Chains A and B, each alone.
Chain A
Amino acid sequence: MTHATDTHTALTAPRRRRFTASERQVSVIRHLVLMSFALVVLFPFFWIVSAAFKTQIDLLMGKVLFTPNLDGFLDVIFDKTSDFARNFANSMVIGLISTFLVLVIATLAAFSLYRLQWPAWVLHSLLGWSVIFHMVPPITLAGAWFTMFRSVGLDNSYTGIILAHTTLHLPMALWMMGVFVRDVPKELVEAAQIDGAKVPQILWHVVLPIVRPGLAATGILTFIFSWNEFPVVLVLSQRQTATVPLGIGKYAQENTIAFTEMAAASTLSILPAFLLLLFAQRFIVRGLTSGAVK
C-alpha cells in the first residue's frame, strides 16, 4: 500500500534492511498492478492488429496461431472497390485545413480576449457560449448544418465539412490557447505597444514565440479529434468526401462483415495518432492537462 512504511523503522540499521525489503515488495506489487492494467488496455489493440494479419478463414476459425498474411492490407489499400486510400486522403485534407483554421482563429481570439482589454461581459458570454456548444451533442447541430449547407450548395463538399470541423473544435482550442496566451506577460505586450508596435507585429514577435509549444499541443489534439470525428461527417459527407471513420463504419454495416479488411483498415487508421503519441507525447500530455484539468 501507499504508506506502508513506518518512519521509526528507518532509524536503526538492521531494521533499515527490512524497510527496504518491504519497500521493494510494495514496489513489485505496484508494478504488477500497473502491468496487468496495461495488458488489459493493450490486449484489444493487439487483437485487432493480429486479426489484420490473418486470413478471413483463420479469423473465423478463431485461430490463435497463424501464418501472417498481408492480403487484408493489400485489399484495403489497392483493391479497386476499396475507398480506403481516398478516405485516408480526405481525412488528411480535412484534418490539416481545419486544424490550421482552428489555430489561427483561436489564437487571435484568445489574444484579443485576454490581452486587448475587452469588457468582461464579452469574454464571459463568448466563453460561456463556447462551453455550452461544446457540451451539446454534435448530432443536434449536424441536422441544421446539413439543411443549411444543402440550401447553399455546400452539402457533400470539403468546404462544408472543414467549416463544421473548425467550429466543432474551436471551443476546445479557444480554451487551451486561452491558457497559453495568459502565459504571455501583460507588461511585455504593453512595452511593445509603447515602442509603437502594431498588433500583427506583437503577435508575430512577442506572442508567437511564447505560445509555440501551446500551438503544437492544441494543433496535435485538434488534428486527432478531427481525424476521429464521426457523427458530423456521417451526416455531411457522401462517398467522395468520406473520411476514415466513415469507411470503417461501412465495413461493419455490410451483410457479411469483411472482418480482415475492417481490422486492416482500423490498424492503418490508428497509425497517425500512434506516431504522434510516440514522437510528440509531451505536447499531447500538455494539451490534455491544460484542456481537462485547468
Chain B
Amino acid sequence: MKTDTFWRHATLWPALVLFALLTILPLIKLLALSFHDVEWINREAVWDWVGLANYARLPQDNLLRAGALNTLIFAVVAVALQMLIGFILALLTTRVVRGRVFYRTVFILPILVPGIIIGAIWKLMYSYDFGVLNSLLLWLGLAPQDWLGNPDLALLSVIVVDVWHWTPFCFLLLLAGLESLPDDIFEAAKIDGASRWQQLRHITLPLMLPTIAVTFVFRMILAFKVFDEIYLLTGGGPGTSTEVISFTIYRRFFTEDQTGYGAAMSIAVIAVIAAGIIAATRATAGKGAKA
C-alpha cells in the first residue's frame, strides 16, 4: 500500500520544525555563545571571541562544584528515600479495596501542584518564628530549629520536602506493580514453606525489578532538574549549602549576565546528560542481546 508522500511529510514536519527551531538551533546558539564573551549594549549583543576560556573556567568554579555535588546528594538521597518508603508502604497495603479512589486522589495531588507552591507551603511550615514544625518542637519542649537558615540543616530540609512531594507517586507506581504480580507463584512458595522474607527476597524483588527501575529512572531525571522548590525555599543558600546545578546556571547566565560562561556551563551539563543516556541505552541494549 503506497502512502501519500505529501501527507506523510505534512504530518511529521510540524514536530520536526519545532524541534529544529527550538532545540537544535538553540543548541548551536549555545555552542557559539560558549566560545565568546557576550555583552549587551542597547539590546545588541556584542560578541568577543575567547576560544575555550569559558570551558577552562568550569573546573575552577566553586559554585558549580557545590551545585554539582549538592544535586548529586539531593537526587540520590531523596530518590532512595522515596523508593524505600514507597515500597515498604506498598508492601504493607496491597489489596486494600475500600477507599481506593480517595487514597489515589490524595496521593496524586502533590505531583499536580506547581513546584513553586510546594515551596511556598513548606516555607510557611519551616518558618523559624511561626512555622508549625517549630511550634511542635516547642510544645514537645525541644529547641526550635532554623530549618532553612542553618547551613547544616538546609539541604536536609529541602530533601524532606522532595520526599514528601514524591513518595506518594512512587508508592502508587510500586503498588500497581505489586498488585499485578501473579498470585499463584506466592501460593506455590508458601506450600514449599518459603518464609515471608524469602518470598520478598526471591520472588517479589526480582519480579518487581522492571517497575522499580522505571520508577527510579523517572524520579532521577526529575530530581536532577530540581529548581522551583529550591528557588522559593532557600535560593541556593545559606552560602552554597543548597546550591543545585540548575540554579548555578541560572545565576551565572541571568543574574550575573555572564552569557558566554553560562552557555558553556549549559553545554557541559547537556553533554554529560546525553553521554549518560547513550551509555545507559548501550548497556541495557547489550544486556538484552546477551539474554
Contacts and interface: CB of A to CB of B under 8 A. Distances in A.
Nearest to B18: A167
Interface stretch (A10-18, A72-80, A208-216, A244-252): A244-252
Interface residues of A, number: 103
A65 interface: no
Nearest to B95: A2
Contacts of B242: none
Given A7-B187, A30-B96, A252-B232, A60 B14 contact: no
B124 A259 contact: yes
A73 B104 CA distance: 29
Contacts of A230: 114-116, 227-228, 231
A131 B277 contact: yes
Interface in A31-68: 31, 33-34, 37-38, 40-42, 44-45, 47-48, 51, 59-62
B249 A143 contact: yes
A103 to B, nearest CB: 12
B43 interface: yes
B15 A106 contact: yes
A3 B246 contact: no
A270 B270 contact: no
B33 A137 contact: no
Interface residues of B, number: 99
Contacts of A285: 104, 108
Contacts of B225: 137-138
Given A141-B26, A248-B120, A199 B4 contact: yes
B8 interface: yes
Contact of A144 (B27, B104, B135, B171): B27
A231 B18 contact: no
Interface string B1-38: 10110011011101110110011011101100100000
B158 interface: no
Interface in A95-132: 104-106, 108-109, 111-113, 116-118, 122, 126, 129-132
A273 interface: yes
B107 A144 contact: no
A44 B120 contact: no
A174 interface: yes
Given A138-B225, A230-B228, A262 B120 contact: yes
A44 B125 contact: yes
A97 B3 CA distance: 31
A63 to B, nearest CB: 9
B130 A60 contact: yes
Interface in A268-294: 269-270, 273-274, 276-278, 281, 284-285, 288-289, 292-293
B12 A112 contact: yes
Contacts of A116: 3, 7-8, 11-12
Given A135-B221, A147-B259, A252-B120, A129 B266 contact: no
A235 interface: yes
Contacts, number: 286
Given A143-B263, A231-B250, A284-B108, A31 B26 contact: no
B282 to A, nearest CB: 12
Nearest to B269: A140
B112 A133 contact: no
A7 B227 CA distance: 52
B124 A47 contact: yes
B45 interface: yes
B99 A281 contact: no
Nearest to B231: A249
A225 to B, nearest CB: 9
Interface stretch (B49-57, B58-66, B85-93): B85-93
A48 B124 contact: yes
A47 B125 contact: yes
B24 to A, nearest CB: 8
Contacts of B209: none
Contacts of A288: 108
B3 A193 contact: yes
A163 B22 contact: yes
Contacts of B19: 126, 129-130, 133, 167, 170
A283 B108 CA distance: 12
Most buried by B among A59, A234, A245: A245
Given A60-B130, A108-B11, A136-B269, A281 B120 contact: no
A228 interface: yes
A140 B23 CA distance: 11
Contacts of A111: 11
B244 to A, nearest CB: 9
27 contacts: A30-B92, A34-B89, A37-B171, A38-B103, A41-B107, A48-B121, A104-B14, A109-B14, A113-B12, A116-B3, A117-B8, A131-B277, A137-B245, A137-B249, A141-B22, A141-B23, A141-B266, A144-B27, A199-B3, A200-B7, A230-B231, A231-B250, A234-B231, A248-B117, A262-B120, A266-B121, A277-B105
Given A105-B18, A143-B259, A259-B127, 4 more contacts: A34-B93, A134-B221, A228-B114, A277-B112
